[in-house]
Amino acid sequence: MSPFDVSQVDSAESSALEQINAAASVDALRESENEMVGKRSPFATLQKTLGSLGPEERKEAGALLQASRQRVAEARESRLVELSQSERAQQLEVDRMDLADVVSSRASAPLRAGHSGLVASTQRQLEDVFVGMGFTVADGPEVETDWYNFEALNIPPAHPARGMWDTFYLDVGEPETVLLRTHTSPTQIHLMENAVAAGTLPIHAVMPGRCFRRDTPDARHLAVFHQIEGLVVDRGISFADLAGVIETFTRAYFGPDIDSRLRPAFFPFTEPSAEFEITCTICRGEGCRTCSLSGWVELGGCGMLDPAVFEAVGIDSEQWSGFAFGFGIDRCAQMRHAVSDMRALSENDLRFIRQFS
């Protein structure tokens, strides 16, 4: 191996800088990295000859070699930025679209008026039905704390029922304390808290909105879905009042030929609880894939408010009683319009969307 030669450092740097300036593209410059400053470069060869020098000479020569290599590396990075900007400008010029030509080509094409999506229009229809029944419409945040989404609804930490609402937690604050709401029930807690503070009981309200759960999409489920819940808090409210509201809603929205039924169920925030089902509008009770061949489709849950919920918001359950119910707006749209697979609501297929214009 030949001894270290300072003149070779200057020669290697000059050669590398010429090669950098001569590079015509980003790819060409990147491909030559090893030959300029990598393992196959003159700098790497000179590095190996430092061993032939004494300690002091080796230190000075090493510093000189490193400084030269650094100047080449910086020049290369600067040239990379320059070439990247140049190539980007060229690509933008190639992709540039003359909007005058586009407008001219479309001037004779008929314009189509937009319209609300099926879920949005269904929500407005549901609100109209409940307003006609004497309810008001309330709204609440989509991001909630664990207390509003679970604990105030009688679902403490580690409660088995939390598995029913497996959800998306946000990386803010303490772990698993802020989440995307799994139902619109937290809005009920906000309403009751505000009514107690303002002294405006009773409450007769519905709460529509978007919810989030880690559901696997199928014919009847989506991970992001829309829900509407109802809340009544008044004196002397009974389960018969709840059943009457469910029946009145079913007839008003789906028509007189669609029946509803209540089945015993469990929800932590209501007692007693029930699930209400309606006749499958796809098969009219005959049995199909959408209703799992049962002839019935579960629309939602309902029940009398548990005293523990009243206690959480400061309402005296000895003086006040009430009920709550909730169901999916997407499911209502599916049943109202006989959509066999709920995934069609979010796929944005124009052949489907235009049917509801």
The Cβ-side half-sphere exposure at 21, using a 13 Å CA radius, reads 6
Do 208 and 324 belong to one domain? yes
Strand partners, 303: 273, 324
187 compared with 102, residue with greater pLDDT: 187
- B/e letters for 225-264, b = 16+ CB within 10 Å, e = fewer, are bbbbbbbbbeeebeeebbbebbeebbeebbeeebebebee
pLDDT score recorded for residue 103: 62
Do 205 and 78 belong to one domain? no
Do 89 and 123 belong to one domain? no
Cα dihedral 277, 278, 281, 283 in deg (nearest 10): 70
pLDDT score recorded for residue 209: 94
pLDDT score recorded for residue 148: 95
- Place 73 in a pLDDT band, splitting at 50, 70 and 90: confident
Average pLDDT, the chain: 85
* Residue 108 falls inside a structural domain: no
pLDDT score recorded for residue 256: 86
With both helix axes pointing from N to C terminus, report the angle between 239-254 and 118-132 in degrees, rounded to the nearest 10: 130
Do 13 and 136 belong to one domain? no
- Please give the tally of structural domains in the chain: 2
pLDDT score recorded for residue 108: 61
Do 240 and 272 belong to one domain? yes
Q: Which of 73, 103, 133 is the C-terminal boundary of a domain? A: 103
Do 235 and 286 belong to one domain? yes
* Residue 1 falls inside a structural domain: no
* Residue 303 falls inside a structural domain: yes
* Residue 112 falls inside a structural domain: no
Do 123 and 270 belong to one domain? yes
pLDDT score recorded for residue 79: 86
Q: Cα–Cα distance between 351 and 333 in angstroms, integer? A: 17
* Residue 315 falls inside a structural domain: yes
Do 99 and 123 belong to one domain? no
Do 71 and 122 belong to one domain? no
The mean pLDDT of 127-142, rounded to a whole number, is: 95
Based on DSSP, count helices (H) and strands (E) in the chain, helices before strands.
13, 9
* Residue 110 falls inside a structural domain: no
Q: Which of 5-19, 100-114, 277-291 has the lowest mean pLDDT?
A: 100-114
Q: Cα–Cα distance between 295 and 154 in angstroms, integer? A: 33
* Residue 25 falls inside a structural domain: yes
Q: Cα–Cα distance between 42 and 229 in angstroms, integer? A: 74
Do 207 and 83 belong to one domain? no
Inter-CA distances, 108 with 103, 105, 115, Å = 9, 7, 22
Do 11 and 134 belong to one domain? no
Q: Which of 71, 103, 135 is the C-terminal boundary of a domain? A: 103
The parent domain of residue 79 ranges over 6-103
Say if residue 318 is exposed, middle or buried (CB neighbours under 10 Å; 0-12, 13-18, 19+). exposed
CATH number for the domain spanning 299: value is 3.30.930.10
The mean pLDDT of 89-99, rounded to a whole number, is: 80
- Place 101 in a pLDDT band, splitting at 50, 70 and 90: low
Would you say how long the chain is, in residues? 357
pLDDT digits over 258-272, tens only?
Answer: 888 999 999 999 999
Q: Cα–Cα distance between 134 and 119 in angstroms, integer? A: 23
- Place 324 in a pLDDT band, splitting at 50, 70 and 90: very high
Cβ-contact 328, 290 below 8 angstroms: no
pLDDT digits over 327-339, tens only?
Answer: 989 888 887 887 8
* Residue 339 falls inside a structural domain: yes
Q: Which of 76, 103, 130 is the C-terminal boundary of a domain? A: 103
The mean pLDDT of 192-213, rounded to a whole number, is: 94
Do 285 and 315 belong to one domain? yes
pLDDT digits over 285-300, tens only?
Answer: 888 887 888 888 888 8
**Number of Cβ atoms within 10 Å of the Cβ of 6:** 13
Q: Cα–Cα distance between 144 and 167 in angstroms, integer? A: 12
The overall pTM is greater than 0.75: no
Cβ-contact 275, 263 below 8 angstroms: yes
Q: In the predicted model, is pLDDT for residue 1 greater than 50?
A: no
With both helix axes pointing from N to C terminus, report the angle between 329-336 and 239-254 in degrees, rounded to the nearest 10: 50
Q: In the predicted model, is pLDDT for residue 353 greater than 60?
A: yes
| Residues of the chain above pLDDT 70, percent | 92
